Amino acid sequence: MRIPGLIPIALLLLAATPALALQEGAERTLELRVTARGAGRTVLVDRGTADGLAVGDLVRFLPRGGGVWGGRVAELAERTGVVELDDPQLLPEPGTRGEARLPETRFARTSGDQEPPAAAPQASVPEDEPGAEPEGGDVPPEHPPWERDDDWTAGQPLLARVDTLRPAQREPTLSGRVYVIADQLFATQDDRSDTFARMGTDLRYGNPFGRGGELHLDGEWNLRETNVPGPDESETKLRVDRASYSWGGSRYEPVRHEIGRFLQQGMPEFGVLDGYEWSGRAADGTRMGYSVGFLPEPTPDMNSGHDLQFAAFYRWVADETERVSSSVGFQKTLHNGAADRDLLIAKFQVLPDTGWSWHGNAWVDYYTAGDEAKGPGVDLTQAYLSTSRRWADDRRVDVSYTHLAFPDIQRYEFLQLTPQALEKDRADRVALEASEPFGRRRVHGGVGGWSDEEEAGADGQLGLEFPDWILDESRTDLTLFGAHGRFSNLYGGRVGFGWQTAAGSWDVMLELALARQQGFNSNNDDLLQQRYRVVRQLHTRSGWDFAAHAEGTILESEEGFGLGFYLQRSF
Amino acid sequence: MSTRFRRNRLSVVLALLLGYGLLACAVSGHPTPRLHSWWQGLGPVLPHDSFPAECSLCHTGDGWRELTEDFEFDHEERTGVRLEGAHTRARCLRCHNDRGPAAVFTRQGCAGCHEDVHQGQLGTDCRSCHQQETWRPEGQIERHQRTRFPLVGTHAVTSCRRCHLGAETGKFLPTDVECVTCHRDDLAGAKNPDHIALGWIERCDRCHMPTTWHQAETN
């Protein structure tokens, strides 16, 4: 047998391994993490000289999104280090893992340094002389008695990881806001006015039963009055937007439940629901779920009980960072017990590291023979596509496309439409907006084009923003704009002034525009329109926000004004 | 508008303010922890495995449940992420909580944490309409000028909800721009001359300017 003959050789190799490792070129991998971003192209890491790092060492970062970003150690403390990245555009986020390959010889020397020194003569303290200086040099002062209760138990390592407190160990928390808002619009002609006052709250009571759930209450009390020629309209309403309890869906619990009145979390496009939603998250981050209940009408009354819905969704994510995801969902509704809407929604988003983002969604309605206005078939009733690119210096470009059409549904969701409008109405719009720094100034603008079932038109604006022109921390903006609309063309200019103060801000806007009515049969189809607005906002660190605004529109033969305030307490 | 009507409105507004005052005082009495600080009942919720190794940056040496008196967390300096608007005054646990790594959610933009009450119809850039201090939308009339229906005349001083039925629940679209969709009652009431009898039921803009509705303005 030849194999037994190899054993002595293997033993020799094993015995020689430490020596081989210490030879020139042998390396050890030191794992580390980014703890913060530093100035310029630097990041802080959680390793220092005590871990064997030295200035000049190469470090490789391994971001979650893939790739390997390099850097070099620039500064060191005992337990922390500063690493300068090779590429200033590639700065890893805090938490990113990395590694440095260090020569094994460095650790051999370090280990040798840490070997206990040869036994020194023990300082002797006579037992009958407490407090006497021992012989043989400095002695550390006596440690004061340990008084704290640090929940340490026998057998627990002293340098254990910090355990998070689970919901059962935490106390409930209350957060949210209460607000009051009042707006008054009035026009000089016919003494028309519109009052809208409301008081509301958005409360979140977290962990109420020690299971990590959340009670959510969001509602408003509204007062509306509209005074027009003829009978005045006045009403007060209490509207409950959200009243739900949700639990699960956390890092500890992949399954999530919500019951009550809530906006569906899995697919918000399906709307607010009076019912129940279940969703589950798989190990790879994909999610799926379903919901059942009644859809409140999206009106100030939020009447419920007419539209029963069943919905399900599936969401795919590329990895744990969720930078790439897509979802698909289906909703079936019954209006007063009769089949109503079959809606399929698909959407996606791509959020790479480079500043780009892509979003899109499409709503497809499926009609049967019972849908008389549109007839059997499928209909794209909404589509939204957008892509954006943002740079660190505030440059940005946004491009979007929107398609809208009315779905043939029985549910009360729109103002009353004629059958012709329901069948033919559509609107498509493409828009591009951009912003470019120009020294300390900023140029911004946008162009857009639209078409609907009858016409097509376009709009555009171009502005220049001056920072600190009139006052420090201020912003002055001059914008020219034009729009070719469905019924009117509008051309004008606007001056905006914003001033940021320590406690809030001022915003002033003046606008002068010439509107020309397109289809008007007579010559006096021009209308000079002036608008102005002043807004004052105040904020406190204790959670109070206040805003007051005054605005007006001056026309040729009449004027309109608006006044309002907003007071909010967040906690 | 009758005197009784004005008195009722004043009473309602006063009641509204009083109710708000009581509610605000009630919540102000709630034991709110120091901003950017920590109290034992809260956590730690987060694992510390990505925190700096220098514990004394945050903790005193007397116990790991005590933070240093001058503990302040500069979010931009420590994490590279700048907090703006009301986020500077938000409690840490509103974002850093049981849901998972905050970076995953913040990368999604506003919708990572905030409900999209517009149900995907108005895009993903909330800041094109909302500002981050109070979330109150400002400048909607200017924004409307970039649609096929720029607000001209009395439309610029009309409450949004008069045309957008779902405005108060966040649903603005789709909205028809034909005059009759919003002015159906005006059309039915136009008897001198009787518009419906004459078949004048569309293209109202041929005779009416948006400065006024109840009479046609001609040369």
- The better pLDDT of the pair A148, A36 is held by A36
- pLDDT for residue A547 is more than 80: yes
- pLDDT for residue A200 is more than 50: yes
B84 — contact with chain A (CB < 8 Å)?
no
Interface touch B148/A537, C-beta < 8 Å? no
Cα-to-chain-centroid distance, residue A317: 17
Q: Give the pair of three-digit tokens for residue A480.
A: 């020219």
- All residues of chain B having their beta carbon less than 8 Å from the beta carbon of residue A448 are 146
Question: Could you check whether the bond before residue B193 is cis, i.e. omega within 30 degrees of 0?
Answer: yes
- All residues of chain B having their beta carbon less than 8 Å from the beta carbon of residue A302 are 169
Find, among A196, A186, A193, the residue nearest to A232 by Cα.
A193
Of the partner residues A79, A94, A485, the one whose CB lies closest to the CB of residue B150? A485
| Residue B191 C-alpha, separation from nearest chain A C-alpha, in angstroms | 15
Mean pLDDT of A237-265: 93
For A386-420, the pLDDT digits (tens) are 999 988 778 999 999 999 999 999 998 887 788 88
Distances, alpha carbon A77 to alpha carbons A44, A50, A53, A100, in Å: 11, 8, 10, 16
- All residues of chain B having their beta carbon less than 8 Å from the beta carbon of residue A180 are 16-17, 20
- The better pLDDT of the pair A533, A168 is held by A533
Mean pLDDT of A535-555: 89
In tens digits, chain B (219 residues) has pLDDT values of 445 455 566 666 666 667 767 666 655 554 444 444 444 455 555 656 556 666 777 776 666 666 677 777 778 877 777 888 888 878 777 888 778 778 788 888 888 888 889 988 888 888 888 888 878 888 889 999 999 999 988 888 888 888 898 888 888 888 888 888 888 888 888 888 888 888 888 888 888 887 765 556 554
φ, ψ at B56 (rounded to 5°):
-70, -5
Whether A363 contacts A386, CB under 8 Å: no
- The better pLDDT of the pair A208, A416 is held by A208
For A28-66, the pLDDT digits (tens) are 888 888 887 777 788 888 888 888 899 999 999 888 777
B195 — contact with chain A (CB < 8 Å)?
no
Q: Give the pair of three-digit tokens for residue B139.
A: 């400048």
- pLDDT for residue A148 is more than 90: no
Average predicted confidence (pLDDT) for chain A: 83
Tokens 């509107």 identify what position? A515
- pLDDT for residue A362 is more than 60: yes
Q: How deeply is B212 buried, as exposed, middle or buried, from its count of CB atoms within 10 A (0-12, 13-18, 19+)?
A: middle
- All residues of chain A having their beta carbon less than 8 Å from the beta carbon of residue B64 are 150, 162
Top mean-pLDDT range of A72-81, A152-161, A282-291: A282-291
- pLDDT for residue A544 is more than 70: yes
Interface touch A178/B20, C-beta < 8 Å? yes
Alpha-carbon gap, residue B32 to B90, rounded angstroms: 12
- Provide the pairing of β-strand A488-500 with A474-484: antiparallel
Find, among A207, A274, A217, the residue nearest to A247 by Cα.
A207
Of the partner residues B20, B78, B212, the one whose CB lies closest to the CB of residue A189? B212
Return the residue of B nearest to A569 by Cα.
B24
Question: Could you check whether the bond before residue B44 is cis, i.e. omega within 30 degrees of 0?
Answer: yes
3-state SS assignment for residue A287: strand
Q: Give the pair of three-digit tokens for residue B65.
A: 């449940």
Give me the percent of chain A exceeding a pLDDT of 90. Answer: 47
3-state SS assignment for residue A5: helix
Of the partner residues B99, B103, B123, the one whose CB lies closest to the CB of residue A384? B123
B103 — contact with chain A (CB < 8 Å)?
yes
- Interface A–B counts its CB contacts (< 8 A) at 355
- DSSP H/E element including A22: helix A3-22
Q: Give the pair of three-digit tokens for residue A489.
A: 């063309």
- The pLDDT of residue A6 is 45
Interface touch B20/A179, C-beta < 8 Å? yes
Interface probe, candidates B157, B158, B159, chain A, greatest A C-beta count within 10 A: B157
Tell me which amino acid residue A222 is.
N
Interface touch B153/A94, C-beta < 8 Å? no
- The pLDDT of residue A286 is 92
DSSP B71-138: ----HHHHHS----GGGGGS-GGGTSSTTS-HHHHHTTGGGGTS--TTTTSS-S-GGGTB-TTT--B-
Distances, alpha carbon A504 to alpha carbons A180, A507, B86, B91, in Å: 19, 10, 11, 20
- The pLDDT of residue B22 is 65
Return the residue of A nearest to B49 by Cα.
A161
3-state SS assignment for residue A280: strand
Interface touch A518/B209, C-beta < 8 Å? no
Find, among A343, A345, A433, the residue nearest to A396 by Cα.
A433
pLDDT band at residue A432 under the 50/70/90 scheme:
very high
Q: What is the 3-state secondary structure (H, E, C) of A343-399?
A: EEEEEEEECCCCCEEEEEEEEEEEECCCCCCCCCEEEEEEEEEEEEEECCCCCEEEE
- The pLDDT of residue B136 is 82
φ, ψ at B14 (rounded to 5°):
-65, -40
- All residues of chain A having their beta carbon less than 8 Å from the beta carbon of residue B63 are 148, 150
Alpha-carbon gap, residue B147 to A520, rounded angstroms: 20
Whether A263 contacts A298, CB under 8 Å: no
Whether B12 contacts B6, CB under 8 Å: no
For A306-328, the pLDDT digits (tens) are 999 999 999 999 988 888 999 99
Alpha-carbon gap, residue A231 to A433, rounded angstroms: 44
- pLDDT for residue A383 is more than 90: yes
Of the partner residues A79, A173, A404, the one whose CB lies closest to the CB of residue B54? A79
- B residues 19-58 closer than 8 Å to A (CB): 19-20, 23-24, 27-28, 30, 32, 35, 41-54
Residue B170's CB: how many other CB atoms inside 10 A? 19
Q: Which of A169-173, A213-217, A469-473 has the lowest mean pLDDT?
A: A169-173
3-state SS assignment for residue A81: strand
- pLDDT for residue A497 is more than 90: yes
What is the reported pTM? Answer: 0.74
- The pLDDT of residue A66 is 73
- The better pLDDT of the pair A8, B79 is held by B79
For A87-139, the pLDDT digits (tens) are 887 888 877 888 998 888 887 654 444 443 333 333 333 333 444 444 444 56
B74 — contact with chain A (CB < 8 Å)?
no
- The pLDDT of residue A241 is 95
DSSP A421-479: HHHH-EEEEEEEEEEEEETTEEEEEEEEEEEESS-EEEEEEEEEEEETSSSTTEEEEEE
Q: Give the pair of three-digit tokens for residue A220.
A: 């408003």
Interface touch B133/A505, C-beta < 8 Å? yes
Whether B178 contacts B172, CB under 8 Å: no
- Helices (H) and strands (E) counted in chain A, each on its own, are 3, 28
- The better pLDDT of the pair A528, A519 is held by A528
